[in-house]
Amino acid sequence: MIRSLGSVLFASLLTPTALAADPPVTPSAVVAQAPASAWRVIAADDLLVMTIAGDKRVVIQLAPAFGPRHVGNIRALAKAHWWDGTSINRVQDNYVVQWGDVTEKKALPPGLSPTSPADYVRSIANVRLAVTPLPYADPYAPATGFVDGWPVAMDGDGAWLPHCYGFVGVGRNMSPDAGTGAELYTVIGQAPRQLDRNIAVVGRVIEGMAHLTSLPRGSGDLGFYTADEKTVPILSVRLASDMAEKARPRYEVMDVGSASFADYLRLRANRKDDFYDRPAGGVDLCNAPVPIRPISVKPAP
């Protein structure tokens, strides 16, 4: 500690006037200091609130721009209260937590959209928003970046959401089944990017992830709970837009086109501070999560 403090003092002696004007040197400092203009409110229609046993709340941000048919179905399922009384049935370490109807017999509400593997990738023509590129190599895609608050992988034809930690996908049967949206999972380990473009990714967990990751792992095949183990009851799933205003979670996401986000990305790729000596010079798509924070200001009465 003494030697470390010495280094800091030595640096400050070399540049004695620089200290006050120094820019933030950690990603978290950038986030803490980002101006209000660097944040975008997440629409209440894009927030899915799942309450599980113990009244624990999990909030998922939906991504309608990337999975419009599946997200439409998920909204319809929430409005029908379809998940109430279902359960978390699978917890596979370093892979996924999965929930839905364990009986696989519960009737779906009418009017759900048909889905297909074509829904896994958005054509470039449909992604009209600006892309902030991530200028580091990715083993899974020719290009990566950030669009409208989301990380994306891209090729010449389209863009898709990656299977990052906390991202939510749609369980399905064997290909070409693409799932309805009734069976969902979230990633709880190293990003299983081999699933990209093989499954629909529809959102990400932005609150309560630890309620899912700390669940006991299932001892059955693929981490499913066996008959001797208890599934975890889901009490309710609602869109925030269907909740009383004062009960709604409210979140904002950093604008990926902002100067703050550029600083954040640069520092995620180049850690250099009292703890980090050797910057990596790069960062992977799933290791630079777009900053998201609760909105503490209450809505006007």
Q: Which residues bind a copy of itself (CB under 8 A)?
A: 1, 3-4, 93-94, 117, 120, 136-140, 164-166, 173-177, 188-194, 196-198, 209-210, 213-217, 268-269, 271, 274-278, 280-284, 286-287
Q: 219 is written with which tokens?
A: 């001892």
Which positions ≥6 away from 95 have C-beta within 8 Å?
187, 188, 189, 192, 223
Residue closer to a copy of itself by CB (options 83, 225) is 225
Minimum CB separation of residue 93 from a copy of itself in Å reads 5
| Enclosing H/E stretch for 12 | helix 2-14
Q: Judge contact between 208 and 56, C-beta under 8 A.
A: yes
Residue closer to a copy of itself by CB (options 75, 268) is 268
Minimum CB separation of residue 84 from a copy of itself in Å reads 26
Residue closer to a copy of itself by CB (options 131, 239) is 131
Nearest partner of 202 among 160, 264, 231, judged by Cα: 160
Q: Judge contact between 160 and 149, C-beta under 8 A.
A: no
Residue closer to a copy of itself by CB (options 45, 138) is 138
Minimum CB separation of residue 63 from a copy of itself in Å reads 19
Minimum CB separation of residue 205 from a copy of itself in Å reads 10
Q: Judge contact between 253 and 260, C-beta under 8 A.
A: no
Q: Judge contact between 113 and 272, C-beta under 8 A.
A: no
Minimum CB separation of residue 98 from a copy of itself in Å reads 15
Q: In a 3-state reduction of DSSP, which class is residue 267? A: helix
Minimum CB separation of residue 207 from a copy of itself in Å reads 12
Nearest partner of 150 among 130, 120, 170, 123, judged by Cα: 130
Cβ neighbour number for residue 279 with a 10 Å cutoff = 13
Residue closer to a copy of itself by CB (options 126, 194) is 194
Residue closer to a copy of itself by CB (options 145, 239) is 145
Q: Judge contact between 292 and 252, C-beta under 8 A.
A: yes
Minimum CB separation of residue 35 from a copy of itself in Å reads 25
Burial class (CB in 10 A: 0-12, 13-18, 19+), 293: middle
Residue closer to a copy of itself by CB (options 1, 227) is 1
